[in-house]
Structure 1
Amino acid sequence: MVYDENSISSKRSVNNHERGRKMNVEKTFAGTHNSAAYNLTYDCDSLADACKLKYASNSCNEQYETCKNNRTASCDIQANVFKNWNPTFFQWTGDLFNSICKTSDILCVAWRTVCKGSGNACELLRDACKKDFSNRVLECLWENNQGYPIKQQLEDVGNGSVVSCHGERLRRALGTNLDSIFLDIKKFMEDNPNEILNIAFGDYDGLNGTFVANYIQDKLEYYFVNGSGYSLMLQEKRGWPKLNKMIEINQRIVIWFGRLYYWLWLNNTRKDWVHSINTHFTVSYTYTAGDLTAQQLNESFNGWSNNSQNVIADDLKNYGYIRWQTIDVT
C-alpha cells in the first residue's frame, strides 16, 4: 500500500479497561483523499445555465440602458481612440463617427441584439460540452481515484499490500504485486538449480516504512522458506561463501534492503537472510556513470576487473570484508 500525507484521516479516543484501571487509547484510522472521485462527468448543465444567466433578456436590457445613459461619454472615448490610431489627415472620420454616435443609439441596439442572441449559443455550448468534453481532462483534474472504486479501497485498507514502483510521489509509476513477481522467481530457481540470484529492494515510497519492510520480508519468507524452516535465501554468516558452496547448500538467493533495512533493524524484526545494501553492496554505477556507448562500458568493466586486487584490498582495509559488486549502469 502506498501511503501519503493524506492517509491518516482521523483519530478517536476509546475507553479501555486493563487491570481495573481506565485508560485512554488513541486509535488511528487509515483514509483516502477524495475517495469517491471516480466515474465522474463534467457538470455541463451548470456551465450552460450560468451562460444563459449572463445573457438573460433582463441582463441584456440592463446593459442596453447603461449603454444609452453613457452613450455621450462612450462616444467621446471611442472617437479619441480612433483619432490616436490614425494619421492627422484621416481624423475627420473620427469626428464624423462621434456626431453620428451621439445622435443615435444604434450601437446600443446592436449590442442588445447580439447579447440576446448569445443565449441561444449557451444551448449549443451545453450540447457540445456533453458530447465532446475530454475524459483526459477529467482524469487529470478531478478523478483522483479513477478505476479504483470504494470496494477496492476498503479491501486494500483492510488487507494492506505492496506493489513494485519506480519514482516517488507525483513522479511515481506503479507495477505489479509481489506475489506474481516472487512466483516467477521461485519457478525460475526451481528450474535452474545452478543459478544464483541477488534481489535488491533499494527504496520505497510512502510514510509507513515499518509496514512496507515487514510486508516484503513476510512475502519472501512465504515463498522462499519451506515448511521445515530451510531457506533458499542466503543466511548471514561470517564471511561470504563461494558461489559453488551456495549451490551446494542450496542458498542461492541473496536479499538486500536499502532504506527499508533501517525499519527492520529499528523494530528488531530483521531475519538473518536480509542484508544491508549500505554496508555490503556496491554498484558499477560509481565508475560507469559517464559511459554512453558499449565500448565505453566494456572499457570501464575491464578496467575495474583488472584492478580487482586493489579493490579487494581497499574493501578489506575500509570495511573489514569484501563487498558485493553489481552491474548497474545508465
Structure 2
Amino acid sequence: MSHPTLTATAPARSPRARPKTAELVRRYGVVVALLLLLAFNAVFTPNFLSWQTLNVNLTQACAIVIVAVGMTLVVASGGIDLSVGSLMAISGALAPLVFTGTLFPLPAHWVGIALAFVLPILVAALLGLFNGWLVTRFSIQPIVATLVLFIAGRGLAQVVTNGNLQVFREPGFQAIGLGRIAGVPIQVVLMVLIVAIGAFVLTKTLYGRQLIAVGGNARAAHLSGISVRRVRTLAYVASGALAGLAGLVVIARNGASDANLVGLGMELDAIAAVAVGGTLLSGGRASMVGTLLGALVIQLVRYTLLANGVPDAAALVVKAALIVAAVWIQQRSLGKTG
C-alpha cells in the first residue's frame, strides 16, 4: 500500500506479472484507508471536523512521521530499527539536563537552549552509528543488533535522570513543540520539511538510488561498486538522529520528560507506518509520501478507537494486524503466494 508518486523502486525481482488486484491495493490502499477513516469519523465522531481535533491529530502524528522517515531509510536498505523509541527517551532525557545547566555549566542561557537541540540529536545519531556498526561490521541481523539499544537505551535514559520525571517550563526550547508559524504548529512545518527532504534524498540523489539498490540486492550492489556498509550505516545514523529529534518534539510539547514513557511503542508505530505506506519490509522499494500517509492512518486508527470507547491497548492489536496485512499485500503484489 503506497502512494503512487515519489516512490523509489529497485528492479523487479521476478518476471512474472504481478496480481493486478494486489498491486492496485498496494498502490492506493493507504489513500483509501485514510479517506475511509476520515469519512467514518466525520459521520460518527463528535467534533471531529473541528480545528482543535485536526490540530490534535496532526501534532500527535508528527513524532510518528519524523521517526518513520528514518525507519523508511533503514527498511529500504534491507534493515530494521527497533531502538528508535529508546533513542527518543535518551534524547528527551538529555535535553532538560542541558538547558537547565544540570549536565555542565553554561556560559549563557541561550547557549543551553541551542545545545539542548544539538547535543541530544548528536548523541542519538552516534547511537544510530553504533547500530549500523553492529549490522555492517559484525553481520549481526538488524533485528538483533537494534534490540541491544531497544533494551539498554531506555535503561540508560532512566540512569541519566535517576528515574525521575523532569518537568520544565522553557519557552525557547518548547517552541519546537508548542510554537506556531502563521497559525501552523512548528512541529507540523518541521514534519512536512523532513518528509520533503526524505523524498528528495530517496528519489533524486545518488545515495537514494544506492540505498534502493542495496535493499533490492546487496550482493549485486556491492559488485557494481556501491559501498554497502556506508549506505546502510548512514541509514541507521539518519534513523537515530530523527528519533532524537522526535524525542525533543514530544517533551517540548508535553513540558515534561519521562524516560519510562517517551517513545514507548514508537518502533511499532513507525514500522506500521512504513509498511502500510508501501515500503517493502524486505528492502528495495520505498515511498516517503506513502510513509506520511501511513503514519496518518496509524494516528487516526488510534484516535478512532479511543473516541469510540475502545481501550488504547486494542490499538496495538490493530497496528499489528495492519503490518501483517501490508506484508501480505506486498507479497501478493510481487507475485509471491508462498
State TM-score, norm by structure 2.
0.18
Please state which structure has a larger fraction of its residues in helix. Answer: 2
Query: Which has the greater radius of gyration?
Result: 1
Q: Which has the higher contact order (CA 8 A, sep 6+)?
A: 2
